[in-house]
Amino acid sequence: MKKLINTPESVLDDALTGVAAAHPELTVDRENHVIHRADAPRPGKVALISGGGSGHEPLHGGFVGPGMLDAACPGEVFTSPVPDQVLAALRATDGGAGAVLIVKNYTGDVLNFSLAAELAAEEGIEVRTVLVNDDVAVEDSTYTAGRRGTGATVVVEKVAGALAERGAKAAEVASVAERAVAASRSFAVALTAATTPAAGRPGFDLPEDQIEVGVGIHGEPGRRREPLRPARELVAEVVETILADHTLTAGDEVIALVNGMGGTPLIELYIVHGEVAARLAERGITIARALVGNYVTSLDMAGFSLTLTKADPELLELWDAPARTPALHRP
């Protein structure tokens, strides 16, 4: 393992030190492991809070700021935050208008955020929770923990954040977030496995010419293993898989996110995006807005995920609204 760390145990603390030094517009609560807007709490504004395991940067701390999140709770690497952390974030951002928690659908995240929501309710903070579950690689059935939350989280945090910034009520913010979840589907492919600092070796062994198809963002293996193929064939299959699960038809518009997993060069992500655009054009689907880059990463994993969100005028308008965060900036 070659990593720019001090010790595996101090990764989160040391990274938060860097975030605090780089972003004076954010407040980093080192004791509770919370990143929040320096101007929090904002009276009368719904607090939009997210969080999850670390290792997915810029998610979530990189999306804290005007127009997106009020606070983020980073857990240890690939480990959900604890309830105390989420409660500290709720207290720091409570402007009296309630809070909306954006939670990616993983057992640990769901349990810890729901325990925090119970504690906050006892303190009189009204909390709503929106689950993000966009990953079509997982069958949503009683035989699984349900679909994982992945790339759609960026879309959800952007549109809900824009609406919250305008003074919308908590129910309205939660409602648009749920609408964005319902309109989104994602699928991911890994070329290499991620190495967590604590484990020190890749989460799974992948031969040079093999890829994992249908991976999540925590280093777990995917649904199946396949030989590596040219980007054109691979992307065509990914687009097919998503469309088979989506309600998109000719004439529809989408927000397309081609997301790098952390270890893939941007030039390859643009090759992928070009193929995505071509495949969608063949079906008469228009990419109304595109985002290409590393937004929901999995440490040093190489690979990409594709998220397609069916667009409508309201979602597009909120997507275009101003945002000022470390990782996403809209004038």
Partner 1 sequence: MRYDLDRELALGWLRAAAAAVERRHEELTALDAAIGDGDHGSNLRRGFAAVITALDALPADASPGTVLTKAGSTLISKVGGASGPLYGSALRGVGAALPAPSADLTELAQALRAGLGAVQKLGGAVVGDKTMVDAFEPAVAALERAAFDGFTLREASALAAEAAEAGARATIPLQARKGRASYLGPRSIGHQDPGATSTALLFRALADAVVS
Residue 137 is a binding residue for partner 1 (CB under 8 A): yes
Q: Among 49, 52, 264, which Cα is nearest to 150's?
A: 52
Q: Which residues, numbered 182-221, are part of the site for partner 1 (CB under 8 A)?
A: 196, 198-199, 203-204, 216, 218-221
Two tokens, residue 82? 């604890």
Look-up: residue for tokens 């959900």?
80
CB of 118 to partner 1, least distance (A): 11
Which one of 15, 59, 64, 78 is in contact with partner 1 (CB under 8 A)?
Answer: 78
CB of 99 to partner 1, least distance (A): 20
Strand order in the sheet with 47-54: 26-29, 34-37, 71-77, 47-54, 99-104, 127-132
Which one of 112, 150, 153, 294 is in contact with partner 1 (CB under 8 A)?
Answer: 112
Residue 76 is a binding residue for partner 1 (CB under 8 A): yes
Catalytic sites, residue numbers: 56, 218
Torsions phi, psi for 27 (to 5 deg): -105, 130
Cβ proximity to partner 1, 120 vs 164, nearer residue: 120
CB of 16 to partner 1, least distance (A): 15
Return all residues near 159 (Cβ < 8 A) that are at least 6 apart. 176, 177, 180, 315, 318, 319
Q: Check if the beta carbon of residue 190 is closer than 8 Å to that of residue 211.
A: yes
* Helix or strand run (H / E) with residue 255: strand 253-260
Pattern 225-244, binding to partner 1, x per CB under 8 A? --------------------
Two tokens, residue 40? 């929090």
Q: What share of the chain is helix, strand, coil (3-state, %, to 5)?
A: 35, 25, 40
# residues contacting partner 1 (CB under 8 A): 37
CB of 216 to partner 1, least distance (A): 6
Residue 107 is a binding residue for partner 1 (CB under 8 A): yes
CB of 72 to partner 1, least distance (A): 14
Can you give the binding site for partner 1, defined by CB under 8 A?
A: 53, 75-84, 106-108, 111-112, 115, 137-139, 142-145, 148, 196, 198-199, 203-204, 216, 218-221, 223-224
